[in-house]
Structure 1
Amino acid sequence: MLPPIHTIIENFELIEDWEERYSYVMELGRAMPPLPADKHSEANRVHGCESQVWLDSHLDTAQDPPRVRLLGDSDSSITRGLVAIMIAIYDTKPPDAILATNGLDVFKQLDFGNHISSKRAGGLRAMDERIHREARKLVQPAQ
């Protein structure tokens, strides 16, 4: 089970060495619930990522207000950990709260800008854009 994003941020602040931070990122990826095999589809694939990334979202209407539920996966251990952080940022938020959140700000706060390749940074942007696009789709039927 993934810890909440505030716990991930606190843990990053305690880890100074980037090799250890990468180990923690991979640990987060392993803690993420598995994405069912049928969700590894082209429709769920995030384009623009260096590795293969899949994100699945649906609206949980059993809660008031309804909340977006996210699952994800990647074929790369580090990228799977980055997906886990993105999910920790957005999972269980109402769509309007997702639209008001910039997940990339969390990655800046964690100082990833200086420690990941430009292709991985592009992948983070693609994931963030995908989650926002899905949240907009989930909001529109209610309007």
Structure 2
Amino acid sequence: MASPAFEEIADTFEFLEDWEDRYRHVIELGRAMPPLDPALQVPATKVEGCASQVWIMPRIEARRFDFQGESDAMIVRGLIAILHALYAGLPVDEVERVNAQAELARLGLDEHLSAQRSNGLRAMIGRIRQLAADAG
């Protein structure tokens, strides 16, 4: 069920055996992501439950889900980029069917993120699912 963009990330993670290299790759994914307009970094788009500042702005076109995201932490920007690869372009009614935990486990993130980052990642996934449900 994963998108080609997510599969590419999974393939890269498989190739990179060292976790420092994987973290660097996550940060690079975040750097490559377009920034979210500061005018959209408002309480309505803020994700609660993250230790870092995180904003997610949905974009729904032709009943397909997409979003922009931003964080003040580079590793979290990278996690947003990974979630974007996982969810962007899906029909809004398919977003909640994605087993994000299983897909992210393929990357080993479940074992290599701090408890705080893992909680924040779950909060971002919850927010994405809620935004898609609201749009559906």
Q: TM-score, normalised by structure 2?
A: 0.94
* Equivalence map 1:5-24=2 (5 Å): 5-24=6-25
Shift of 1:26: 0.2
Between 1:102-111 and 1:126-135, the stretch displaced more is 102-111
| 1:36 paired residue number | 37
- Alignment RMSD (CA, Å): 1.1
| 1:25 paired residue number | 26
| 1:78 paired residue number | 75
Which deviations, in whole Å up to 9, do the C-alpha atoms of 1:12-46 show, x marking residues without a partner? Answer: 00000000000000000011111111111111110
CA distance in structure 2 between the aligned counterparts of 1:94 and 1:114, rounded to whole angstroms: 30
Picking from 63, 79, 95, the partner of 1:98 is 95
Fraction of identical pairs, as percent: 41
1:29 and 1:80 in contact (8 A); partners too: yes
AA aligned to 1:96 is D
Aligned length: 133
AA aligned to 1:51 is S
Q: Report SS of the residue matched to 2:23.
A: helix
Which deviations, in whole Å up to 9, do the C-alpha atoms of 1:106-139 show, x marking residues without a partner? Answer: 2211111221110100011101110111111111
2:59 and 2:68 in contact (8 A); partners too: no
CA distance in structure 2 between the aligned counterparts of 1:14 and 1:116, rounded to whole angstroms: 19
2:64 and 2:89 in contact (8 A); partners too: yes
Shift of 1:50: 1.2
CA distance in structure 2 between the aligned counterparts of 1:95 and 1:137, rounded to whole angstroms: 9
Higher gyration radius (CA) = 1
CA distance in structure 2 between the aligned counterparts of 1:114 and 1:68, rounded to whole angstroms: 28
Moved runs in structure 1, 4+ residues, more than 3 A?
Answer: none
Q: Report SS of the residue matched to 2:26.
A: helix
CA distance in structure 1 between the aligned counterparts of 2:65 and 2:38, rounded to whole angstroms: 20
**Where does the alignment leave 5 or more consecutive residues of structure 2 unmatched?**
none
| 1:88 paired residue number | 85
